[in-house]
């Protein structure tokens, strides 16, 4: 812009044009500059040029001096019986302030200059609504405009169904506050200063909203609970702000690869392709988190959110939302209670078929019928228990060009191949994606049929056609292509990508990309899972293998951790991601054993094996070779040993999986979920519980031992029977290179080794008691055909 401006300035001096022409020019220039600023806000992200699939940082919108700020001030009216009222919002602006060596800005009261002034309110009263969902769950909704959209809960893809109503809460007015109580805690609405105060059953404040008066005792003038009206287009976004207590810890937010405790971090809840689990981007963000203080929050929105958990101010959770309204579900309880409540609202994972818990063998990629069958034969020859073979990007005629057809040159008779696979006990999985390049044979059909995401002009936001899965016609077309493959004998489809729905796109739903971008993975997961589920064998659910997700995607399992580096860092990122994902309502999760990007070094792959086989789902995938017999004989033995361990443990795996689907719990589980009263368990992020009874500590570096934290009680080494006390211990790994311990008092079911899950002898279950101090051992039993797990005692 400077280069464009300078010649005109020179012309002004040379030509000495009159003052009126200068004013006219500057008016034109300012209009041009204003347009450029508006465009820049779309094209930039946190002040830098926005690149497709970067995380959206919403926090910068809330420090713009051109915006008007409205701060929640007082309760204007409220009806205790209906739970509805009005909050008064005071109008503010951000004013620059100099203090010797500091330039900053403070919020200061503002009198509007809007015209006509009689048409607008300087300090508006806007709707607040409280609903009670269960004895542990409260819903709080707040508007930033007088207009309430009529969309009901039935249209929300994130919710599993109608939101229930509870009569367990009793309300009353008590002095300066309206208070609702249940057996598990209370929510208090203070009238002035306006606050939402969340308390436990004993009356302890768990968290509360911040008001402008909270700045009086600090030189840092933090924006409290507020919303903005943007200067460039008058759009609004809300910024709920809650207190963060000393020693408070925050968990959840999806498959986040950074430290499990989010306090001190800024977490961007916008779907991205982070290119692996080693950065702060997420394939699967989830707008849900909970605290070690006993509360959790689900932000019912699909617009981007930036959660500043004490990163910019150590005493506040600042939730910078793109959405103009707040719709929060607040939960009370311990981690298991909160996960159960959250998944009651957004849905629990359905139970998956037994074969999905077996070994999945893959690489990028098998290119032919002969190659796939050879892998199947080799797995049986090497006696490696396994159930699934996956063909990645190379089963089409042109690699990566998804046309839903086997290459006629390299797959002479795919139906016969699929039948041969089935006869050998293998299910078959195929890769695909929702983007179509101009060279794809379906490109023209999608464009002509209007089944793609459009730009503002009705054209394409970028050169690939992105399936508009908010359009029922597109979903029907897509599901028809998938159904054709399933009817040939394909069992499962890889739901790859899904992170690049255009933010500047226009969708059939009538929503813009701001709200559809994060919903896209959920629509994608749903469309694919439902067609597979509809054609699954009677009594079984379908399964997908998905990379992207959003809140509610747990209803359409399963998901894996993306494209990990073949390094120790890649393994750590996957472990953190899996734990965080499980703390966000997902029961099932997997990852690429050994990493994805390059051929995995044997030492890393070997150490990754027990982590892979002691996850709910197990896949070898990535750059070749992934097949153990192509690496070394000793590695083949190690691979077989880990696979045999899982197949012998399959009754435990299956019963724990069923229990997870009933309670909203993860199979790969942070220690504090099982041990919420053990302070040390909240600090651990490199170990996990595999179900409720087995503790796993992977070797994240080369070596033969590692330091482990063990929750209070006795622990029995699964490999050698050695007994350990709770606390920090240096533990030698066994022949399987990981620390694998069983909780004292556990009864673990085993079966004789089978090479495939449909050959498991369920009538020959052997119960192994792991006993140190406990007198009674307990375990779960759930077999194919059972309706619910049963507790077995010895």
> What is the set of active-site residues?
496, 499
Whole-angstrom Cα distance, residue 777 to residue 134?
A: 34
Q: What is the largest CA-CA distance in the chain?
A: 101
- CA angle centred on 713, ends 711 and 717, rounded to 5°: 85
Are β-strands 388-391 and 427-432 bridged in parallel, bridged antiparallel, or unpaired? parallel
Residues 6 or more apart whose CB falls under 8 angstroms from that of 281 comprise 53, 54, 55, 268, 272, 273, 274, 275
Whole-angstrom Cα distance, residue 394 to residue 362?
A: 12
Question: Which pair of tokens denotes residue 185?
Answer: 């805690």
Across 18-145, the runs of DSSP E, i.e. the strands, are 44-45, 48-49, 68-79, 84-99, 102-109, 125-134, 137-142
Whole-angstrom Cα distance, residue 435 to residue 58?
A: 27
- CA angle centred on 33, ends 27 and 37, rounded to 5°: 145
CA distances to 1, 565, 592, 603, 708 from 700, rounded to whole Å, are 52, 13, 15, 11, 12
Whole-angstrom Cα distance, residue 107 to residue 675?
A: 44
Across 379-500, the runs of DSSP E, i.e. the strands, are 388-391, 427-432, 435-436, 465-466, 492-495
Cα R_g (the chain), whole angstroms: 28
Residue 66, exposed/middle/buried by CB under 10 A (0-12, 13-18, 19+)?
exposed
Nearest to 645 by CA among 745, 750, 737: 750
Q: Are 744 and 710 in contact (CB under 8 A)?
A: no
Question: Which pair of tokens denotes residue 38?
Answer: 């508006």
Q: Give Cα 337 distance to the centre of its chain.
A: 19
> Coil, strand or helix: which one is 35?
helix
Peptide bond into 365 cis (omega under 30): yes
Whole-angstrom Cα distance, residue 437 to residue 48?
A: 28
Residues 6 or more apart whose CB falls under 8 angstroms from that of 453 comprise 460, 461, 466, 467, 468, 501, 502, 505, 506, 507, 513
Q: Are 340 and 301 in contact (CB under 8 A)?
A: no
> Coil, strand or helix: which one is 148?
coil
Whole-angstrom Cα distance, residue 175 to residue 134?
A: 26
Q: Are 67 and 58 in contact (CB under 8 A)?
A: no
> Coil, strand or helix: which one is 342?
helix
Sheet with 205-208: list strands edge to edge: 170-174, 177-182, 185-190, 195-200, 205-208
HSE-CB at 35 with a 13 A cutoff on CA atoms is 6
Whole-angstrom Cα distance, residue 511 to residue 492?
A: 31
End-to-end CA distance of the chain: 79
Residue 123: count other Cβ atoms within 10 Å of its Cβ. 18
In sequence order, what are the beta bridge partners of 688? 696
Whole-angstrom Cα distance, residue 224 to residue 67?
A: 15
Whole-angstrom Cα distance, residue 284 to residue 301?
A: 15
Whole-angstrom Cα distance, residue 672 to residue 5?
A: 61
Residue 542: count other Cβ atoms within 10 Å of its Cβ. 23
């Amino acid at each position: 812009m400077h280069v464009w401006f300078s010649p005109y300035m020179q012309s002004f001096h040379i030509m000495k044009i009159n003052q009126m022409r200068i004013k006219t020019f500057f008016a034109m220039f300012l209009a041009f500059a204003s347009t450029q600023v508006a465009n820049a806000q779309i094209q930039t992200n946190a002040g830098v040029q926005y690149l497709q699939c970067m995380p959206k940082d919403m926090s910068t919108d809330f420090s713009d001096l051109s915006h008007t700020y409205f701060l929640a001030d007082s309760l204007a009216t409220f009806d205790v019986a209906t739970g509805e009222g009005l909050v008064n919002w005071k109008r503010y602006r951000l004013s620059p302030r100099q203090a010797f060596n500091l330039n900053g800005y403070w919020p200061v009261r503002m009198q509007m200059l809007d015209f006509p002034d009689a048409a607008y309110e300087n300090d508006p009263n806007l709707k607040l609504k409280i609903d009670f969902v269960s004895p542990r769950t409260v819903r709080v909704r707040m508007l930033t405009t007088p207009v309430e959209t009529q969309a009901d809960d039935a249209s929300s893809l994130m919710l599993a169904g109608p939101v229930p109503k509870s009569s367990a809460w009793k309300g009353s007015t008590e002095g300066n506050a309206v208070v609702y109580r249940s057996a598990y805690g209370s929510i208090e609405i203070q009238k002035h200063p306006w606050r939402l105060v969340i308390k436990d059953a004993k009356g302890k404040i768990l968290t509360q909203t911040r008001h402008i008066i909270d700045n009086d005792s600090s030189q840092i003038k933090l924006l409290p609970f507020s919303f903005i009206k943007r200067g460039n287009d008058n759009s609004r976004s809300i910024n709920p702000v809650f207190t963060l207590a000393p020693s408070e810890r925050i968990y959840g937010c999806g498959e986040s690869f950074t430290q499990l405790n989010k306090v001190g971090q800024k977490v961007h809840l916008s779907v991205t392709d982070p290119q692996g689990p080693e950065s702060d981007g997420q394939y699967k963000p989830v707008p849900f988190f909970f605290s070690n203080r006993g509360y959790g929050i689900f932000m019912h929105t699909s617009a981007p959110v930036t959660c500043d958990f004490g990163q910019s101010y150590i005493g506040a959770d600042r939730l910078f939302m793109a959405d103009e309204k707040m719709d929060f579900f607040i939960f009370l309880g311990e981690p298991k209670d909160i996960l159960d409540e959250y998944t009651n609202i957004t849905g629990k994972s359905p139970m998956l078929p037994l074969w999905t818990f077996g070994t999945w063998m893959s690489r990028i990629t098998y290119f032919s019928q002969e190659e796939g069958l050879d892998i199947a034969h080799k797995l049986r020859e090497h006696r490696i228990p396994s159930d699934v073979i996956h063909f990645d990007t190379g089963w089409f005629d042109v690699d990566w060009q998804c046309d839903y057809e086997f290459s006629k040159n390299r797959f002479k008779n795919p139906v016969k191949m699929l039948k041969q696979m089935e006869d050998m006990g293998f299910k078959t999985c195929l890769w695909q994606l929702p983007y179509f390049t101009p060279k794809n044979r379906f490109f023209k059909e999608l464009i002509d049929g209007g089944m793609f995401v459009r730009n503002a002009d009705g054209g394409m936001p970028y050169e690939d056609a992105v399936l508009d899965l908010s359009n029922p016609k597109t979903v029907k077309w897509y599901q028809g292509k998938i159904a054709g493959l399933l009817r040939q004998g394909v069992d499962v489809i890889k739901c790859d990508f899904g992170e690049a729905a255009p933010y500047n796109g226009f969708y059939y739903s009538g929503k813009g990309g701001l709200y559809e971008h994060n919903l896209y993975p959920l629509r994608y997961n749903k469309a694919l899972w439902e067609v597979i589920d509809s054609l699954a064998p009677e009594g079984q659910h379908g399964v997908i293998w998905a990379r992207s997700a959003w809140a509610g995607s747990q209803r359409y399992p399963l998901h894996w951790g993306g494209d990990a580096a073949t390094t120790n860092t890649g393994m750590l990122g996957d472990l953190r991601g899996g734990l965080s994902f499980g703390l966000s309502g997902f029961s099932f999760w997997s990852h690429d054993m050994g990493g994805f990007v390059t051929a995995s070094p044997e030492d890393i792959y070997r150490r990754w094996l027990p982590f892979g086989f002691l996850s709910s789902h197990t896949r070898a995938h990535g750059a070749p070779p992934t097949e153990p017999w192509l690496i070394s004989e000793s590695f083949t033995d190690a691979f077989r040993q880990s696979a045999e361990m899982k197949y012998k443990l399959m009754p435990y795996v299956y019963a724990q999986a069923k229990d997870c689907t009933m309670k909203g719990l993860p199979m790969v589980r942070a220690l504090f979920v099982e041990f919420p009263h053990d302070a040390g368990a909240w600090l651990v992020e490199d170990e996990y519980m595999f179900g409720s009874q087995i503790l796993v500590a992977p070797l994240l570096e080369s070596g033969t031992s590692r330091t482990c934290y063990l929750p209070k009680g006795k622990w029995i080494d699964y490999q050698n029977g050695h007994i350990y006390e709770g606390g920090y211990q240096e533990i030698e790994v066994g022949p399987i290179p990981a620390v694998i311990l069983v909780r004292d008092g556990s009864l673990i079911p085993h079966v004789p080794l089978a090479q495939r899950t449909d050959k498991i002898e369920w009538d020959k279950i052997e119960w192994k008691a792991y006993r140190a101090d406990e007198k009674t051992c307990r375990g779960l039993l759930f077999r194919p055909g059972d309706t619910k797990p049963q507790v077995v005692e010895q």
